[in-house]
Each structure stands twice: as C-alpha cells, then as structure tokens.
Amino acid sequence: MIELKLARTDDGRPEIFRSVQGEGPMSGRARTFVRFSGCNLHCVWCDTAYTWNWRGGAFAHVRDRPGAPHTFDPAAEMAKLSVAETAALVRACGAEALVITGGEPLLQSEGVAALIDALGAPHVEIETNGTIAPSPALVARVALFVVSPKLPHAGNGALAIRPEALAAFATLENAVFKIVVRESSDLQTVAALAQNYAIAPDRIWIMPEGVDAETLAARGAALIDAVIAAGWNYTGRLHIALFGARRGV
C-alpha cells in the first residue's frame, strides 16, 4: 500500500487546506492544497523548511540563530497517510481544483498519481523544483506544472539544476516556470536558463524572494522594469499579503 508523507500544520493536522493560489499564473484562483513532506534541495531561504530540514542535519538556513538552528523533528512534522485517507481530507475541502506542493512532491510521484486517481482525476496543478522529470503517469494526469528551478542564491550548488529534468519540463506545453529572484543581477541567470532550455518569455514568472510584505514590495519594485523589458511575467505572493507567513493558508 502506498503511504503518502505529508506536511503538518501548526496544530498537527495534515497540511491540506482550501485557500487562494498566491503565486504564479493561477494567482487568486481558489484551490485545495496538499503539501507533501520531503525535499531533495535545501534552499537557505526556504519558507517550508519544516518539510525537510530535519534536526541534526547539516544544512544552513537564514533563520538559524545561535543555539537555535531552524530545524525540525520529522516525527512531529511528517504525517503518514494512506491515499484513501488523504483523498477523504481533500474531498472535505473541495476536490475539483487541486494544487500539489511541498517540499518536493515529485519525490512521491507514484503516490501523487494514485491520489489523483482516487479523486477521480480533478484539475491538478503541481509545484516542483524541476529536478525530477515528471513520470508519464503524471504528465497524463496533470493540467499544469509550475516549475521553480533554483538560482545560486538558494545555496544548493550543482544540485539545483538537473539538465535532463529541466529539459523534460521545458518541452511540456503545460509547464510554466516560476523563478524566485532576490536582486536584478539574478535576472541574468534567468535569461541564461531561458536561452539554454528554449523557454519562451511568456512561460516565465519572476517572483521576489521574501516572507514579509515589505521585503516583497521592495524587491518587486527593484525588479519590475527589467521583468517587463524581458517580456516575462511577474508574480507577488498574495498569501503573504493576505495571511502572513503561516502554514495551512
């Protein structure tokens, strides 16, 4: 039996919730979110480090403090549910339009496909870091892949870009790219990625990095002219403006 590893909210429930999409091309659309636990990257500014940055690990994080690393207990943070249990929680929220997110959900590709099947093939969007090529089963089931390759400022080194996986997404008509940017110089890296993988400008969304409204506004203002000039799209983080940096929203 497939066991799904999901994140938990602050009160311990599996992180399955109804909200509006806050980022990217579907920003503002009502969606049900399922947050999977586990990630194969370790971004220093990750806002869901409770899905992967386990106690005793060696990864640095911008929220580390002396004597208080920004790390988590997997026994407390990870919920293990069957596909049927997960599907029931999704149905209780509304299962017609779903966002599968993480962590890195494609680490559990087989389970994700089984969940979609258990729900009767609703409209599904997957958010991924683009390091794992989508399986044929997922390509056949998913309406939109939102792919977020990580730039050097995320601190993953060579792990961040897996050329074969990124090339696989680039060839999918239903894949767009949401790229987290800190400063204007990062946009040169975005332009190089777009050229190397033949990604048209209108498939790219630039999103400022930040977990508070002030930082996002300042970074966005510094980026927007260059984003428009390049023909890319821009996205803020609507959920931060509406709810703040919280789980389950």
Cα–Cα distance, 165 to 195 (Å, whole number): 16
User: Between residues 118 and 146, which has the closer beta carbon with respect to ligand SF4?
Assistant: 146
User: Between residues 39 and 95, which has the closer beta carbon with respect to ligand SF4?
Assistant: 39
Q: Which residues pair with 91 in a beta bridge?
A: none
Stretch that binds ligand SF4, among 9-17, 35-43, 62-70, 163-171 (CB under 6 A): 35-43
Binding mask 76-105 for ligand SF4 (x = CB under 6 A): --------------------------xxx-
Q: Which of 4, 7, 34, 43 binds ligand SF4 (CB under 6 A)?
A: 43
- Contact assessment for residue 54 and residue 42, using Cβ atoms and an 8 Å cutoff: no
DSSP state of 54: B
Q: Which of 27, 48, 109, 189 binds ligand SF4 (CB under 6 A)?
A: 48
Per 3-state DSSP, the chain is made up of helix, strand and coil in percentages (nearest 5) of 40, 25, 40
Stretch that binds ligand SF4, among 10-18, 48-56, 194-202, 216-224 (CB under 6 A): 48-56
- Helix axis angle for 109-118 and 83-93, nearest 10°, is 60
User: Between residues 46 and 81, which has the closer beta carbon with respect to ligand SF4?
Assistant: 46
DSSP state of 130: S
Is position 153 an interface residue for ligand SF4 (rule: CB under 6 A)? no
Is position 41 an interface residue for ligand SF4 (rule: CB under 6 A)? yes
Q: How far is the CB of 145 from ligand SF4 (least distance, A)?
A: 14
Total binding residues for ligand SF4 by CB under 6 A?
13
Q: Which residues pair with 177 in a beta bridge?
A: 147, 204
Cα–Cα distance, 133 to 172 (Å, whole number): 11
Cα–Cα distance, 127 to 103 (Å, whole number): 9
Is position 37 an interface residue for ligand SF4 (rule: CB under 6 A)? no
User: Between residues 103 and 220, which has the closer beta carbon with respect to ligand SF4?
Assistant: 103
Q: How far is the CB of 21 from ligand SF4 (least distance, A)?
A: 16
User: Between residues 8 and 150, which has the closer beta carbon with respect to ligand SF4?
Assistant: 150
Cα–Cα distance, 94 to 72 (Å, whole number): 30
Instruction: Quickly list DSSP for 13-40.
Output: SBSEEEEE--SGGGTT-EEEEEEBP--S
Cα–Cα distance, 54 to 60 (Å, whole number): 11
Residues lying near ligand SF4 in the complex (CB under 6 A): 39, 41-43, 46, 48, 51-52, 102-104, 129, 150
